[in-house]
């Protein structure tokens, strides 16, 4: 207990999320230039898990667990980064493809890039619309818990009224 007391307090998850979002940006934005980056990021994340384990168990005070529903605004940040990665990767492929085939004019390459990236972004938006946030089984379980909770509260109130 004394060791925990003299340890430095855990600073929270902000920097952990920030480092992962920055890594996500590098991997997705420049996937066309360095495809092995995703594998290197995976290796880095496996090492990070171990170092975080040591940090949380031995270097910092125990943090107080907090229940959260989602990753919050980080999801919006990552969605925006995904759209930017589509733009950068189509731009990279368009420029590299144009350099290899100089018979096609620059405006034609730009037009093809814009059409392709808009089709791809449309596909991503369609998939976000079609695929639900949570599977049907989980939604039904949550609705059942809410129903049972309300029913128990109603039964308790009715029991109090009848007493």
Looking at residue 59, the DSSP 8-state letter turns out to be I
pLDDT of residue 131: 86
User: Mean pLDDT, 10 residues at a time, over the chain (163 residues)?
Assistant: 72 85 91 89 93 82 77 88 87 76 76 87 88 85 92 88 76
pLDDT of residue 101: 67
User: Cα–Cα distance between 128 and 138 in angstroms, integer?
Assistant: 18
**Nearest CA to 38 among 52, 50, 51, 23?**
23
User: Cα–Cα distance between 163 and 157 in angstroms, integer?
Assistant: 10
Any residues with CB less than 8 A from the CB of 28 and at least 6 apart, and which? 81, 82, 85, 89
Longest dimension (CA), the chain: 89
pLDDT of residue 46: 95
pLDDT of residue 42: 94
Which residue, chain included where needed, has tokens 């919006």? 76
């Amino acid at each position: 207990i004394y060791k925990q007391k003299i340890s430095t307090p855990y600073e929270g998850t902000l920097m952990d999320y920030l480092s992962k979002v920055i890594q996500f940006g590098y991997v997705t934005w420049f996937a066309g230039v360095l495809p092995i980056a995703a594998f290197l990021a995976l290796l880095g994340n496996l090492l990070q898990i171990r170092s975080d384990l040591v940090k949380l168990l031995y270097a910092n005070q125990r943090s107080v667990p907090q229940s959260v529903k989602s990753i919050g605004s980080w999801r919006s940040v990552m969605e925006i980064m995904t759209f930017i990665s589509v733009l950068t990767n189509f731009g990279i492929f368009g420029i590299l493809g144009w350099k290899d085939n100089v018979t096609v004019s620059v405006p034609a390459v730009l037009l093809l890039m814009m059409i392709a990236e808009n089709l791809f972004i449309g596909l991503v938006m369609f998939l976000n619309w079609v695929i639900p946030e949570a599977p049907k089984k989980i939604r039904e379980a949550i609705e059942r818990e809410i129903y049972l909770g309300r029913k128990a509260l109603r039964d308790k109130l009715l029991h109090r009224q009848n007493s």
